[in-house]
């Protein structure tokens, strides 16, 4: 097979990769050399956002946004997802940046729903545009949304998101619930910024029938610039939740994501989720692969190895070529993410908005 062009980018180190072997002539299920199976794709549809959360996006946005021609087109995204589906991917999460700022995002969801064998389409969003889009998204085939909300105080919200309007997010949450989307609320606990509200956020989520989840602050991109004293692990969060949940440690990883859940102590069906990449690395059970808005496949948030699936398609590559690039990308996946270790290429660790959180 001819060598297909790679792509240059500030954030990625592109290693040379071998040509597709002659005997690679069917699309295999994706797994890696450590026995992990891959069933979940996180696809970023844009690296832009209408907010600039302090742990994610620099004020005024990232220096380098993909230009329009860099982005995967909807046709390319749908083709990629159908190859991923043949390779065992069952669930796709649209993310970003903010996925709802991608023009015609509803059409993308609809195309992927109609054309691919993926079982479940979900999205992570800041919900600023969800009040208008919840119904069309659901009609297009979206199953659920994870909505990021770090505070219920309008001034704090504006401060953490650098200008966001809490009212729009709340309207988005209500719209999503109203049209029957499954809703989870994601909160990054930040000592000194929202720690006094964590219990209230749980009560709020439960009162709506949504599941609250806490994500440990990761030292990536802007998150790496915040003082480490702001980081809170699951135990720190639990102390703020009082007697709302059982006190034993979170259960084993369940479902298709990295969250571990603790049941409410009042016997109701409510739960609180914890995503603990720092205090309790879940890499051993990782089942997800990421594709950036430009179409680079990344085996892990922390991984520097990336291959441009977009360029393979634009150079006329076949579905088998794409599958080989996926297989090869995952074959080099490390056992863990090493977020807290000093990093030889610190500047290459980009934030979630560029990789697709
Ligand atoms: N814009 C959408 C949103 O905010 O939900 C989707 C993309 S955002 C990058 C996805 C998730 O990553 C959000 O829940 C956000 O809170 C989380 N996130 C971003 N940077 C983070 C960091 N440094 N540590 C932990 N979580 C982070
Ligand atoms: Fe935007 Fe989401 Fe990052 Fe906040 S976390 S800046 S909403 S991409």
DSSP string for 61-85: --S-PPPGGGSPPHHHHHHHHHHHH
Which residue has a Cα nearest atom 11 of ligand 1? Answer: 357
Predicted local confidence at residue 138, as pLDDT: 98
Calculate the average pLDDT of the chain.
87
Q: Would you call 40 helix, strand, or coil by DSSP?
A: strand
Predicted local confidence at residue 257, as pLDDT: 62
Of 237, 242, 243, 250, the residue nearest 267 (C-alpha): 243
The pLDDT confidence band at residue 251, using thresholds 50, 70 and 90, is low
Percent of the chain with pLDDT over 90: 68
Predicted local confidence at residue 286, as pLDDT: 77
Average pLDDT over residues 112-140: 98
Pocket of ligand 2 (CB under 6 A): 49, 51-53, 56-57, 96-98, 126, 148, 353
State the Cα–Cα distance between residues 167 and 182, nearest whole angstrom: 20
- Is there an atom of ligand 1 within 6 Å of 98 CB? yes
Average pLDDT over residues 261-289: 85
- Is there an atom of ligand 1 within 6 Å of 82 CB? no
State the Cα–Cα distance between residues 105 and 286, nearest whole angstrom: 27
Q: Which two tokens stand for residue 297?
A: 């496949």
Q: Kindly list the structural domains of the chain, giving each domain's residue range(s) and its CATH number in brackets, ordered by start.
A: 40-355 (3.20.20.70)
- Strands 91-95 and 120-125 come out as parallel
State the Cα–Cα distance between residues 151 and 168, nearest whole angstrom: 13
- Is there an atom of ligand 1 within 6 Å of 223 CB? yes
Of 242, 219, 221, the residue nearest 231 (C-alpha): 219
State the Cα–Cα distance between residues 222 and 200, nearest whole angstrom: 26
Quick check: 329 pLDDT over 80? yes
Which tens digits make up the pLDDT trace of 182-205?
999 999 999 999 999 999 999 999
Q: Which two tokens stand for residue 251?
A: 């259960």
Which tens digits make up the pLDDT trace of 105-123?
999 999 999 999 999 999 9
Mutate which of 96, 145, 164, 215 to test ligand 2's pocket (most atoms within 8 Å of Cβ)? 96
Which element (helix H / strand E) includes 125? strand 120-125
Quick check: 130 pLDDT over 80? yes
Average pLDDT over residues 90-113: 97
Predicted local confidence at residue 12, as pLDDT: 47
Predicted local confidence at residue 259, as pLDDT: 86
Contacts of 204 (CB under 8 A, 6+ apart): 152, 185, 212
CA distances from 332 to 81, 130, 174, 307, 325 (A): 21, 38, 42, 12, 11
Mutual angle of helices 74-86 and 105-115, in 10-degree steps: 30
Which residue has a Cα nearest atom 3 of ligand 2? Answer: 56
Give the Å distance between the CA of 8 and the centre of ligand 1.
25
Which element (helix H / strand E) includes 166? helix 166-178
State the Cα–Cα distance between residues 237 and 198, nearest whole angstrom: 7
Predicted local confidence at residue 299, as pLDDT: 76
Which tens digits make up the pLDDT trace of 45-71?
999 999 999 999 998 776 667 778 899
Q: Long-range contacts: 195-202, Cβ < 8 Å, 24+?
A: 195/232, 195/236, 195/240, 196/240, 197/151, 197/152, 197/153, 197/156, 198/237, 198/240, 198/241, 199/240, 199/241, 199/242, 199/244, 200/152, 201/149, 201/151, 201/152, 202/241, 202/244, 202/272
Average pLDDT over residues 209-234: 93
Dihedral over Cα of 292, 331, 260, 178: its sign: positive
Predicted local confidence at residue 248, as pLDDT: 67
């Amino acid at each position: 097979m001819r060598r297909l062009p790679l792509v240059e980018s500030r954030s990625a180190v592109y290693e040379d990769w071998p040509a597709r072997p002659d005997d690679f002539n069917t699309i295999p299920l994706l797994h890696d050399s450590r026995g992990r199976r891959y069933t979940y794709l996180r696809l970023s549809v844009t690296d832009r956002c209408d907010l600039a959360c302090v742990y994610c996006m620099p004020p005024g946005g990232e220096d380098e946004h993909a230009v329009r021609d860099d982005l995967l087109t909807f046709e390319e995204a749908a083709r990629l997802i159908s190859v991923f589906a043949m390779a065992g991917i069952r669930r796709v999460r649209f993310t970003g940046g903010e996925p709802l700022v991608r023009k015609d995002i509803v059409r993308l969801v609809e195309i992927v729903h109609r054309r691919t064998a993926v079982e479940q389409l979900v999205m992570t969003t800041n919900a600023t545009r969800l009040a208008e889009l919840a119904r069309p998204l659901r009609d297009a085939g979206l199953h659920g949304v994870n909505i990021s909300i770090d505070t219920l105080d309008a001034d704090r919200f504006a401060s953490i998101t650098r200008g966001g309007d809490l009212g729009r997010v709340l309207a988005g949450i209500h719209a999503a619930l109203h049209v029957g989307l499954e809703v989870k609320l994601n909160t990054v606990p930040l000592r000194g910024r929202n720690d006094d509200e964590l219990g209230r956020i749980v009560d709020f989520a439960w009162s709506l029938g949504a599941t609250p989840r806490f994500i440990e602050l990761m030292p990536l991109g802007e998150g790496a610039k915040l003082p480490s004293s702001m980081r809170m692990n699951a135990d720190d969060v639990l102390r703020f939740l009082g007697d709302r949940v059982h006190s034993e440690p979170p259960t084993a990883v369940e479902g298709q994501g990295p969250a571990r859940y603790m049941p409410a102590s009042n016997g109701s069906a409510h739960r609180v989720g914890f995503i603990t990449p720092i205090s309790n690395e879940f890499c051993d059970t990782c089942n997800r692969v990421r594709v950036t808005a430009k179409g680079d496949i990344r085996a892990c948030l922390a991984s520097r190895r990336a291959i441009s699936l977009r360029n393979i398609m634009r150079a006329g590559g076949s579905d088998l070529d794409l599958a080989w690039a996926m297989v090869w990308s995952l074959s080099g996946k490390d056992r863990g993410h090493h977020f807290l270790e000093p990093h030889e290429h610190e500047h290459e660790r980009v934030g979630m908005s560029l990789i697709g959180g």
